[in-house]
Amino acid sequence: MARWTAGMAVSSLLVGLFVMSARSATAPGTAGTTDKPKELELPNGKYLILYPKSMRAGQVFSLSIQVFDLVKKFGVTASLTASDGDPSVDEKSVDFETGTHNATINLEVPEGSDVTSYMLTVQGYSKNDDGHPAENGLKFEKQKRIKVHGKGLSIFIQTDKAIYKPSQTVHFRVMAVYPNLKPYLGKLDIELMDADGNKIKQFKGEQNVEHNGVITKELQLTDQPVLGDWKINVQVLGSQQDKSFTVAEYVLPKFEVKIDAPSFFFYRDTLLTFNVGAKYTYGKKVKGTAEIVVNLSYKSYELNKRKIPQHKITVDNFDGSTTVKLTQEELFALILPPSRGGSTVIPLDVLKYKKIQISANVTEGVSGIKLSAVDTTVPVETQHHQLKFLAATPSSFKPGLTYVGFVQLSRMDDSPPLPADLIDNNGEAKRLKMDFQGTVSDPKYTAKKNLNESFTIMPSGLVRFFINVPEGFTRLDITATFGFVSETKYGVKKFKSKSDVGIQVALSGLEGGAAVKMRPQTFL
């Protein structure tokens, strides 16, 4: 939002800022000069004009005008012109009595024009007691070129489905909205073209005020239409929008095949278990034959023109669902041997860097129709869990005050830990181990000090940890450990301030609807 203001003491033009004296002002066209201002009779007061930095075709361009402490009548006129010398496309004025007032001038921006900018001109002039402009009453005239955004309307086209068969009816509706989401109620043109670009039908000057501008139409397809992607084109006030739909000979699938596999596989696990299922659209299980293929993913350079080893399973008496269990040895058999001899392959070392790919298809026993499931990829992970320091964990600490941070424990697919993951063999709740390594720097020496703590793990996996940082610490390295998984936050530094004084406010007993209790703590 740009602004022009007029004030009491000085007259000059800055970027988006106009100041006018109540007792002196530069003549028009000399703003910003250092010549002695010419004595003029100006109404004593201040003026503020706010306006947008850009405008949209077909929209209202509003200027907010405020005047303060006027002792004489005053008027302001605003206008828009495409270029110098052209007549204004819109011009409006507002008058002010003495005192403090505010008003709005709304200028209409033309629709459907290819003009990329308009010149905004604002004039201020004093008025006689009878309301007419005073002789030589022009007190300021300022101009600003305003950019016009070409897209004044957003056009929406909706069809009742994406694919149509010959002889079916295409139902669609169209509407346009302004940037403020108010519906456009004017006229628009609609054209429909087939896949070869031939214009099949058109609707000129369509309008629907009763239904908030929503226009509903239809197109009856012939029994032998051009197959392919057809197009609906809508044009309104210089804007246009296309929407495609497909005309094809197709048959809706009668059933769907799905693979239900784990989100990841731990490389030391001895069994990979997943399920393949097929159901009709109405829920009944599909009977027939299922074919399942499992392999490891490889880069093209790893294959070196060799075929990827596959584990194939055929289920002849498929009854809607089957569970597949692959042993660790069967997964090892999917590993490519070394190219050109090479060193001995250690299966576990190879497996932990791979992804397991599963594909499946089901053939319906009665019709022989074969459908495939979306291929599923199961990443192989070296751990069951992962630890992450949350962004809310501070990057600095203040010695003498409590440092509070947060760690998130989750499974490798970012899901919360299972309840069994948080219980040890003795039935006790597991705790997150935290190691705080502090650096103590002194002009004479640098030393390391370790502090060890453990903290409660919430069912969601969130851990809130805290430590009272001893005096003298200048750096803190924090390591969180859960089983064989660890994560370290390096370089938490001492907070520096000129006074070296701090204050900390801790919340206690925080509950919804209750009074907030705070415990302040300071350090010097």
Percent of the chain that is helix, strand, coil (3-state, to 5): 5, 55, 40
Residues 17 and 81 in one domain: yes
User: Does residue 505 lie within any of the structural domains?
Assistant: no
Structure confidence by residue, pLDDT tens digits, 388-436: 999 999 999 888 888 999 999 999 999 999 999 999 999 999 999 999 9
Residues 166 and 64 in one domain: no
Residues 90 and 191 in one domain: no
User: Does residue 514 lie within any of the structural domains?
Assistant: no
Map tokens 């298809």 to a residue.
361
User: Does residue 125 lie within any of the structural domains?
Assistant: yes
* Selected residue with higher pLDDT from 37 and 287: 287
* Per-residue confidence (pLDDT) for residue 505, from 0 to 100: 66
User: Does residue 524 lie within any of the structural domains?
Assistant: no
Give DSSP secondary structure letters for 1-55. Answer: -EEEEE-SS--EEETTEEE--SSEEPPTT-TT--SPPEE----SSEEEEEE-SEE
* Single-letter code of the amino acid located at 406: F
* Selected residue with higher pLDDT from 8 and 513: 513
Strands 255-260 and 228-236 turn out to be unpaired
Residues 7 and 126 in one domain: yes
Q: What is the pLDDT averaged over residues 166-188?
A: 92
Residues 390 and 377 in one domain: no
* Per-residue confidence (pLDDT) for residue 391, from 0 to 100: 92
SS (H, E, C) 468-483: ECCCCEEEEEEEEEEC
Q: 32 pLDDT band (50/70/90 cuts)? A: very low
Residue 220 near residue 169 (C-beta atoms within 8 A): yes
Q: Could you tell me the end-to-end alpha-carbon distance of the chain, in angstroms, rounded to an integer? A: 46
Structure confidence by residue, pLDDT tens digits, 289-309: 999 999 999 887 777 778 889
Structure confidence by residue, pLDDT tens digits, 118-128: 999 998 888 88
Domain CATH code at residue 369: 2.60.40.1940
Structure tokens at 436: 């705080």
Which residues are CB-neighbours of 225 under 8 A, at least 6 positions away?
166, 194, 247
The pLDDT mean for the chain works out to 83
User: Does residue 465 lie within any of the structural domains?
Assistant: yes
Whether residue 41 is predicted with pLDDT greater than 70 in this model: the reply is no
Domain CATH code at residue 174: 2.60.40.1930
Query: Hey, is 301 helix, strand or coil?
Result: helix
Burial class (CB in 10 A: 0-12, 13-18, 19+), 439: middle
CA dihedral 280, 283, 284, 286 (to 10 degrees): 40
Of 331, 362, 381, the one marking the end of a domain is 381
Q: 180 pLDDT band (50/70/90 cuts)? A: confident
Residues 389 and 479 in one domain: yes
Residue 106 near residue 62 (C-beta atoms within 8 A): yes
Domain CATH code at residue 453: 2.60.40.10
> C-alpha distances in angstroms, 175 versus 158, 297, 424, 476?
9, 48, 61, 60
* Per-residue confidence (pLDDT) for residue 8, from 0 to 100: 32
User: Does residue 509 lie within any of the structural domains?
Assistant: no
Query: Hey, is 195 helix, strand or coil?
Result: coil
User: Does residue 489 lie within any of the structural domains?
Assistant: yes
Q: 20 pLDDT band (50/70/90 cuts)? A: very low
Residues 7 and 44 in one domain: yes
Whether residue 277 is predicted with pLDDT greater than 70 in this model: the reply is yes
Structure confidence by residue, pLDDT tens digits, 182-227: 899 999 999 999 999 999 999 999 998 888 999 999 999 999 999 9
Strands 396-397 and 485-494 turn out to be parallel
Residues 332 and 400 in one domain: no
CA distance 353 to 3: 61
- How crowded is the C-beta side of 347, counted as CA atoms within 13 Å? 13
Residues 292 and 401 in one domain: no
Residue 480 near residue 486 (C-beta atoms within 8 A): yes
Of 222, 247, 272, the one marking the end of a domain is 247
Residues 121 and 40 in one domain: yes
Q: What is the pLDDT averaged over residues 41-63?
A: 78
Residues 389 and 376 in one domain: no
Residues 193 and 306 in one domain: no
Into how many domains does the chain fold?
4
- CB burial of 388-408 (b: ≥16 within 10 Å; e: otherwise) equals bbeeebeeebbbbbebebebb
* Per-residue confidence (pLDDT) for residue 433, from 0 to 100: 95
Of 381, 406, 423, the one marking the end of a domain is 381
CA distance 190 to 241: 10
Q: 42 pLDDT band (50/70/90 cuts)? A: very low
Whether residue 35 is predicted with pLDDT greater than 70 in this model: the reply is no
User: Does residue 488 lie within any of the structural domains?
Assistant: yes
Range of the domain at 307: 255-381
Residue 199 near residue 192 (C-beta atoms within 8 A): yes
* Per-residue confidence (pLDDT) for residue 495, from 0 to 100: 85
